[in-house]
Structure 1
Amino acid sequence: MLKKFIIFCLLLIGVWPFLYINNHWIVTTEKVYESEKVPQSFDGFRITQVSDLHDALFGERQEKLVKEVKETNPDIILITGDVIDSNRYNLEQSLMAVRQFVEMAEVYYVIGNHEVATNQVPEIYEALTEIGVHVMPNTSTTIEREGETISIVGIEDPLNGVETQEMLNEAMTGVNPENLTVLLAHRPEKFNTYVANEMNLVFSGHAHGGQIRIPFVGGLVAPGQGVLPKYTAGMYEKDRTTMNVSRGLGNSDFPYRIFNLPEVVTVELKSK
């Protein structure tokens, strides 16, 4: 009996650091997006994506997360939803890292389902706007370099009761079809809608990397996709559309990541 108890205790001692590392060790994934639609002046332009923070903390005043993002040397930073968690809504804590992001680069933001679930979207939008974030509620803007431009488009989360296609119709009003179109959209399961609308480069999150990642298989489960989801991490290509899905940073209903480290993503644009 004593031997079994000792073995049990040793297992517990081993499990705790494993879980801690899986939930707190941030990694940066670097990718390249090459296209003839990337203007020459944007060759080498670096887009850093932060997604699904869910009110998680990474060091005092988010120092570990901020350091990781700063080291990507971003030209712009995209936040693709769920910066807060509806189960433990703490807006000031959630914005701690964002306040430091705006000191590094221009920051663009769209909501996820958790922002909608709090019924505090106007408050969140106001707070982010006040600290200098470009809030993108079914709208678009352009970034200019040396007389050339790309379009940044953002849509809200369909939990608000509006269909993705309808939100895209509104957001794309006035967008130059010749421009490279970068879309911020929380939900990767809407990929075929993004493809049908010929979005060029899409940044999504929501899937949390499948929460538990099975080696050589992928993510186990994701909201909106169920068991063995198709879109959980990395780049997916179809026709003229490339979608990058971030594994995100925090957790919500299920408190642990397994073989699924928190992730910051950087995509470098290359002119073809």
Structure 2
Amino acid sequence: MIKKLVKILLIIAFLVGFFYVNNNWLTVSNYTIQSSEIPTSFDGYRIVQVSDLHDATFGENQQRLANKIQQAKPDMIVITGDIIDSNRYNLQNSLDLIDQIVEIADVYYVTGNHEVATNDVDRIKEQLTTRGVRVLANETLNLERGGEVISLTGIEDPLMGEVASKMISDSRMPSDAFTVLLAHRPEDFQAYVDAGIDVTLSGHAHGGQFRIPGMGGLVAPGQGYFPKYTAGIHEQGESKLVVSRGLGNSIIPMRLFNLPEIVVVTLKSS
């Protein structure tokens, strides 16, 4: 009887530990984007992408997450939406992270569907802006380094009322610079391709929530079952899409074989 009880307790402990690791162990995925369109001054430029925090917590006051971002040595930090969760909205939990990472590098942000769903999106943007985050709402910035320029465009989530192609058009993206687009939704990849975007950073898919080893994600918002865009780099023509698996959870409260992820994109001139 005692042996059976011990065995049951060991199984329970294993399962608790297994699910804890699946949802709390921070990983870093590194990708290199190589192009002759990238100016030599931006060769080696590191973009750290944070996506879909969904009010998850990594250490006291987000210290573990902030440390992981700092260790990646970013030249720029981008947040591709859903930094909060509309179902358990706790903005301060996200601001704890923001207060730390704005001291590391310039931070840029675009909305996700959950910010819009709170009906508090203006205050969220205001709080981020007050802390030094550059909120991009269908607009383009030129980033200068060593006298050379790349273009950074950010578009709102479509819940704000416009389709991706219209928002990109409104952003006045230049045609003669290497362009990085921040856009929450990967399922709109065709619109990014049609707009001539060089590389798009997206999230939203949560890695497919449950990942099946060797097959990929099981389900993603906007894509349904066995979605195409859940993680990694996707290419169509000259356009590339980098999809973050994200950090937190929303309606489905558990990840499986899908560790929380920070993405590091390194630009390489060729």
Q: Is residue 2:179 matched to residue 1:187?
A: no
Q: How far apart, in 2, do the equivalents of 1:186 and 1:163 lie?
A: 12
The AA in structure 2 aligned to 1:26 is: L
Residue 42 of structure 2 is matched in structure 1 by 42
* TM-aligned CA deviation for residue 8 of structure 1: 4.0
Q: How far apart, in 2, do the equivalents of 1:96 and 1:37 lie?
A: 37
Q: How far apart, in 2, do the equivalents of 1:132 and 1:251 lie?
A: 26
Gaps spanning 5+ residues in structure 1: where?
none
* TM-aligned CA deviation for residue 10 of structure 1: 3.1
The AA in structure 2 aligned to 1:242 is: K
* Stretch deviating more after TM superposition (160-169 or 186-195): 160-169
Q: What is the Cα-based RMSD across aligned positions, in Å?
A: 1.2
Q: How far apart, in 2, do the equivalents of 1:2 and 1:189 lie?
A: 53
* TM-aligned CA deviation for residue 121 of structure 1: 0.8
Q: How far apart, in 1, do the equivalents of 2:5 and 2:137 lie?
A: 55
Residue 64 of structure 1 is matched in structure 2 by 64
Percent identity over paired residues: 54
Residue 79 of structure 1 is matched in structure 2 by 79
Name which of 211, 222, 227 aligns with 2:225. 227
Q: Is residue 2:92 matched to residue 1:95?
A: no
Q: How far apart, in 1, do the equivalents of 2:103 and 2:189 lie?
A: 32
Residue 205 of structure 1 is matched in structure 2 by 203
The AA in structure 1 aligned to 2:26 is: I
Residue 264 of structure 2 is matched in structure 1 by 266
Q: How far apart, in 1, do the equivalents of 2:25 and 2:13 lie?
A: 18
Q: How far apart, in 2, do the equivalents of 1:249 and 1:73 lie?
A: 19
Residue 175 of structure 2 is matched in structure 1 by 177
* TM-aligned CA deviation for residue 95 of structure 1: 1.2
- Deviation digits for residues 188-215 of structure 1 (CA, Å, limit 9, x no counterpart): 0001110111100100000000011100
Residue 16 of structure 2 is matched in structure 1 by 16
**Local SS of the residue matching 1:70:** helix
**Local SS of the residue matching 1:179:** coil
Name which of 250, 254, 260 aligns with 1:252. 250
Q: Is residue 2:151 matched to residue 1:159?
A: no
Residue 143 of structure 2 is matched in structure 1 by 143
**Local SS of the residue matching 2:177:** coil
TM-score, structure 2 length as denominator?
Answer: 0.97
**Local SS of the residue matching 1:250:** coil
**Local SS of the residue matching 2:259:** coil
The AA in structure 2 aligned to 1:225 is: Q
* TM-aligned CA deviation for residue 6 of structure 1: 5.4
Equivalent residue pairs, number: 270
Q: How far apart, in 2, do the equivalents of 1:158 and 1:7 lie?
A: 51
TM-score, structure 1 length as denominator?
Answer: 0.96
* TM-aligned CA deviation for residue 177 of structure 1: 1.0
- Deviation digits for residues 161-181 of structure 1 (CA, Å, limit 9, x no counterpart): 21111111111x1x3211110
